[in-house]
Amino acid sequence: MSATTADHARTKAKTRKNSLHKQRLWALWGSYAALSVFVVIFLVPPFYTLMTSLKSSAEISAQTGSPWMVNHPSLDNFWYLITYPNFQTYYINSVLVTIVTVAVSMVISVLAAFSLARMGFWGSQTLSTGVFLTYLVPPSLLFIPLFQIVGMLGLINNLWCLILLYPTLAVPFCTWIMIGYFSSIPKELDEAALIDGASYMQILTKIFIPVAMPGIIAATIFAFTVSWGAFLYPLAYLYTSNQMVLTVGIISDLIRGDVFQWGKIMAACLLASLPPIVIYAFLMDYYVAGLTAGATKG
Amino acid sequence: MAEVSCRKVVKEYDGGVQAVKGIDLDIADHEFVVLVGPSGCGKSTTLRMIAGLEEITGGEIWIGGDVVNDVPPRDRDIAMVFQNYALYPHMSVFDNMAFGLKLRKFPKDEIKRRVDEAARILDIGMLLDRKPRALSGGQRQRVAMGRAIVRNPKVFLFDEPLSNLDAKLRVQMRTEIKKVHQTVKTTTVYVTHDQVEAMTLADRVVVMNHGIIEQVGTPQELYHRPTSRFVAGFIGSPAMNFLPCRIDEAGGGGLSVRVNNAVQIPIPAARTSRYAPFKGKEMVFGIRPEHLTQRREEGRPGFEPVELLVDVLEPMGMETMAHFFVDGAPVCARLDPATEAAPDVMLALTADMNQMHLMEKDSGKVV
């Protein structure tokens, strides 16, 4: 009797284990399928860009052969761009605008977030919400009134107008991210530092910034993306080659009339994508969650 | 080293809630004082006001002979150990301990000497290169103590430092804290809700409740001579038994505690005059479980027999706790582990009435 019961229990356990195994297998297949679709959607355009950038104009316009394959690969398009003075100017301008934007945005965001999250002054809560609300205003709504302001400042067709404007787009969201990170740091850490003799500035630089590094990196990536990829503002405010950044420079220089130099445009896109790829890959290594592990009882 | 004083200290939060209602407290140099009380009694707020982490609404706090009401925490020369350790996660143990000294621009060799000395006292010398995440709870708490010791401050403040540790480690760390205090002898204010911690560590215990100090005294004073029902019930584990009673006249000019018709216990002659003014009044009778035993003490003055129906027995190895109900009020007695008591059976007990307490019903004041 007892042996039969034991056998029954064993069979039941085995069936449950098998069904669990099957469920897990299906879940795996499902996630692989979904990821494959995702990968195809996101990787096909860069692949096409790469293929086209390696082709000559003649090969691009030829009606024969598959557009996905390259028959006579060449780096001519890349070489042309690298040695093309206008492209070099766009690149340098983009790098300059982005470095200054990221630096200015991060300094403002970190200081603002620290004071809003930690210093608990009168109205800090309302101000925090206000900061986030400003992020909800679409930049495309602002560029006309901003044009007036930029015009008044005499910065139309001047690279510095972007350095002035981009932080207004990046700071609210970066501050919001940083408020979240700073708020997650246990209050006892700043209290311990206060008792240890630290000033608020020392608490920020010696405790909060190192501990909230993942948040700072996330905010930095956001500010970088805002600045590097912006199209509307440079299109509206800049019109000479020596002031242009990559996003508008590529289309205004490499589309001449109704002639699209596809090979060069694609090569320029790839070259322009290089800094984000390198920076993302580099920063992601430091983007480690759980840096606060061990600070307090976990 | 310094004495700490609170003079009519009040803490009122926005909305008029008073967390601390004008406390007066004097802590002597080298003294180890424990603030104990239930959650929300104002003990942590008091400690944080001494630390300078909370502003004081009224009154004065003195440290080392100076009023420090408006002095920022860093200039009060205090060190604090937090419940959740509050170690800097990105720094090594050495850097955590050295942080305060570096900010105060101590020379490097002096910092090293002090950290090594604190590490030796706390036995964490081999952990100095590790990050806090690589430490166990007990080790983290030791580092937090080390961070306090290296500063050689006037006052140590501990805010429930053992609450996050498991029971075994808590006992071990309790001993270590006591040992550290015996070594460095710094004036210490320690907050806990655990009365055992308070009793074992303190030179003097401050029992707080609803923002006021109920009683200040040595552990023995609080245990044997509580001044209120709250202190009597808070100190001691298991807690003191409380039974509503009336003081009746007994034969021979004596008095007795009358709980009900079945439970009527004579009061020792030595206390008759003390309790005489309360004759005929409704009072609360208090007796600790350890003064309600099965020991045969016939004939000894003050030891009176009581018979109660056992409800539940809790064998604990070195003793057995017996629980009873008298008129709906729970009563606990400490029995010998070899007891033959059984649930739902009447048990003959001896009440040591020399240790009894009598309290006013409304005010809870011990008379």
Q: What is the largest CA-CA distance in chain A?
A: 96
Sheet holding B320-326, edge to edge: B292-293, B346-352, B303-315, B320-326, B329-335
The CA distance from B11 to B47, in Å, is: 11
The CA distance from B279 to B270, in Å, is: 16
* Residue B145, H or E segment: helix B137-150
pLDDT, position B206? 95
pLDDT, position B131? 94
In total, the C-beta contacts within 8 angstroms joining chain A to chain B are: 87
Output the average pLDDT for chain B.
91
Q: Is B99 close to A193, i.e. CB distance below 8 A?
A: yes
Contacts of B104 in chain A (CB under 8 A): 197
Contacts of B137 in chain A (CB under 8 A): 297
pTM recorded for the entire structure: 0.80
Residue bearing tokens 């582990």: B337
Q: Can you count the helices (H) and strands (E) in chain A?
A: 14, 2
Q: What are phi and psi of B226, to 5 degrees?
A: -65, 150
Contacts of B85 in chain A (CB under 8 A): 188, 295-297
Q: What are phi and psi of B191, to 5 degrees?
A: -110, 135
From the number of C-beta atoms within 10 Å of its C-beta (0-12, 13-18, 19+), residue A133 rates as exposed
CA distance readout (Å), A143 to A147, A157, A295, B367? 6, 14, 45, 81
Q: What ranges do the domains of chain A cover?
A: 2-53, 78-296
A209 Cβ under 8 Å from any chain B Cβ: no
Nearest to A194 among B73, B87, B151 (CB): B73
Q: Indicate the pLDDT class of residue B360, thresholds 50, 70 and 90.
A: very high
Count of all residues that appear for chain A in the document: 298
Q: Which residue of B has its CA nearest to A197?
A: B74
From the number of C-beta atoms within 10 Å of its C-beta (0-12, 13-18, 19+), residue A161 rates as buried
Nearest to A294 among B82, B104, B133 (CB): B133
Q: Is A195 close to B78, i.e. CB distance below 8 A?
A: yes
| DSSP classification of residue B267 | P
Q: Is A294 close to B135, i.e. CB distance below 8 A?
A: yes
Sign of CA dihedral A202, A206, A212, A214: positive
pLDDT, position A292? 44
pLDDT, position B105? 93
The percent of chain A in helix, strand and coil, each rounded to the nearest 5, is 80, 0, 20
pLDDT, position A1? 46
Q: State pLDDT tens for residues B157-212.
A: 999 998 888 888 888 888 988 988 998 889 999 999 998 899 999 999 999 999 99
Nearest to B88 among A197, A199, A295 (CB): A295
**Residues with Cβ < 8 Å from A288, sequence gap 6 or more?**
A214
The percent of chain B in helix, strand and coil, each rounded to the nearest 5, is 30, 35, 35
Residue pair B248/B240 in contact by the 8 Å Cβ criterion: no
Residuewise pLDDT in 10s, chain A (298 residues): 455 566 777 776 667 667 778 888 899 999 999 999 999 999 999 999 999 999 988 888 887 778 888 888 999 999 999 999 999 999 999 999 999 999 999 999 999 999 999 887 888 888 888 888 888 888 888 888 888 999 999 999 999 999 999 998 899 989 988 998 899 899 999 999 999 999 999 999 999 999 888 889 888 988 998 899 999 999 999 989 899 999 999 988 888 888 888 999 999 999 999 999 888 887 776 655 434 444 454 4
Contacts of B87 in chain A (CB under 8 A): 192, 294-296
Name the CATH superfamily for A78-296: MetI-like (1.10.3720.10)
pLDDT, position A5? 63
Residue pair B177/B161 in contact by the 8 Å Cβ criterion: yes
A120 Cβ under 8 Å from any chain B Cβ: no
User: Mean per-residue pLDDT for B263-271?
Assistant: 88
Contacts of B141 in chain A (CB under 8 A): none
Interface of A with B in 166-195 (CB under 8 A): 186, 188-189, 191-195
Contacts of B131 in chain A (CB under 8 A): 294
pLDDT, position A58? 86
Contacts of B103 in chain A (CB under 8 A): 196-198, 202
Nearest to A211 among B51, B89, B134 (CB): B89
Q: What are phi and psi of B163, to 5 degrees?
A: -65, -25
B66, β-bridge pairs: B63
- Measured in angstroms, the CA of B76 and the nearest CA of chain A are apart by 8
**Residues with Cβ < 8 Å from B204, sequence gap 6 or more?**
B27, B31, B32, B33, B34, B216, B217, B218
% of chain B with per-residue pLDDT over 90:
65
B79, β-bridge pairs: B156
A125 Cβ under 8 Å from any chain B Cβ: no
Q: State pLDDT tens for residues B208-263.
A: 999 999 999 999 999 999 999 999 999 988 899 999 999 988 877 788 999 887 78
Q: Which residue of A has its CA nearest to B135?
A: A294
**Residues with Cβ < 8 Å from B339, sequence gap 6 or more?**
B294, B313, B320, B322
pLDDT, position A17? 67
Contacts of B140 in chain A (CB under 8 A): 294
Nearest to A191 among B53, B87, B151 (CB): B53
- Measured in angstroms, the CA of A13 and the nearest CA of chain B are apart by 36
A293 vs B340, more confident: B340
B105 Cβ under 8 Å from any chain A Cβ: no
pLDDT, position A209? 93
Residue bearing tokens 């042996």: A3
Q: Is B86 close to A191, i.e. CB distance below 8 A?
A: yes
The DSSP code sequence of A260-273 is: E-HHHHHHHHHHHH
